[in-house]
A and B are shown apart, each in its own frame.
Chain A
Amino acid sequence: MKLNIAGEEKTFDDGLTVDKLIEVEQVENPEYVTVSVNDEFVRTPLYGETVLHDGDQVEFLYFMGGGAR
């Protein structure tokens, strides 16, 4: 199946869950990343049970500080 990840189309095995995708995509500091699938937030406890489907749009929102100092 094809997923759109941060605007880029990528191919994955069917039945992939959000927690597996985080592993495959080697997301940095995953415990502090917010995931959205098709514009809806998926909260951490649901990563294991959230199965992704062909055409899903997945976004990783990263904490970003920086600025003053």
Chain B
Amino acid sequence: MAMTNEQMERYSRHILLKQIGVKGQKKISNGSVLIIGAGGLGAPAALYLAAAGVGRIGIADADTVDLSNLQRQVIHTTVDIGKPKVESAAETMRAINSDVEVVPIHDFVNSSNVMDLIADYDFIIDGTDNFPAKFLVNDACVLGGKPFSHAGILRFDGQLMTYVPGEGPCYRCLFKEPPPANAVPTCSQAGVIGAMGGVIGSLQAMEAIKYLTGVGDLLTGRLLTYNALSMKFHEIKVKHDPDCAVDGDHPTIDHPIDYEQAVCDLASHKG
């Protein structure tokens, strides 16, 4: 479909880039991204992907907006407190760009719905906050043959890696299984600097745009870490693990798994 004059103007700064151009912008407009988690990572990712004009953006989260979210989850505002995060996020995204079809999914992503959810999208962004969810998203993407961006943030640190089927390792190649509940500190226990979500979530959006347009080198086979205190990015080369339980030569996982949630996370969950 041809772009309207308004679209040519809206996306003019993309179109000016020789690697993107009208052709690349059309790929973005025909693309679809599912963002799992409308929080610290999902919020900036959703803002940039909506602004970029990604054709269809699904955003999944069962949570409601809490006052303590607003320090970093910049897609929500003070009047949104108590509203489902996906509704609040969808309103902001539609206000930025009505070209985008926003699909709010007000539900927990679990083993029974994850395969169907990811099937409808070209690229998945893992913006979840807990390890059971991260392994669920990873395994589903490996089993479903979907590319996705992993990311995590804690205190003054962030990390991300991109998985593309057949290229480099998956999250489980790096980390065998979720740590026991409460063994590793979470943001709600240890804190996180708000702008960290902006840095890492924006990088996830960047990977989605690069995947959709086919421009540049994706973060496959590389775990990128960022420390805000030393202001250093560091890249760790990571290889596919032939012994990986989901992505290895003899996989033992053939369906997504619901690992037990940390008890304190469930108790503190605001519905």
Contacts and interface: CB of A to CB of B under 8 A. Distances in A.
B223 A66 contact: no
Contacts of B175: 34, 61, 63
Interface in A1-51: 6-7, 29, 31-32, 34, 36, 39-41
Interface in B51-72: 61, 63, 69
Nearest to B241: A41
Given A41-B239, A62-B159, A67 B179 contact: no
Interface string B35-55: 001111110000000000000
Interface stretch (B7-15, B111-119, B127-135, B248-256): B127-135
B174 A64 contact: no
B239 A67 contact: no
Given A32-B179, A34-B174, A34-B175, A65 B237 contact: no
Nearest to A40: B239
The size class of the interface chain B forms with chain A is: 35 or more
Contacts, number: 101
Main SS of the interface on chain B? mixed
B236 A36 contact: yes
B209 interface: no
B63 A68 contact: yes
B184 A65 contact: yes
Given A34-B174, A39-B237, A41-B241, A65 B61 contact: no
B163 to A, nearest CB: 15
Interface string B229-251: 00010101111010000000000
Given A36-B238, A62-B159, A69 B187 contact: yes
Contacts of A59: 236
Contact of B129 (A32, A36, A61, A69): A69
Tell me which of A29, A62, A68 has the highest count of chain B C-beta atoms within 10 A of its own C-beta: A68
Nearest to B221: A39
A7 B188 contact: no
14 contacts: A7-B234, A29-B179, A61-B236, A62-B157, A62-B159, A63-B131, A65-B129, A65-B134, A65-B152, A65-B186, A68-B38, A69-B39, A69-B69, A69-B188
Interface of A: 6-7, 29, 31-32, 34, 36, 39-41, 59, 61-69
Given A61-B175, A68-B129, 14 more contacts: A6-B234, A31-B183, A32-B179, A36-B238, A39-B238, A39-B239, A40-B239, A62-B159, A65-B134, A66-B129, A67-B42, A67-B129, A68-B39, A68-B40
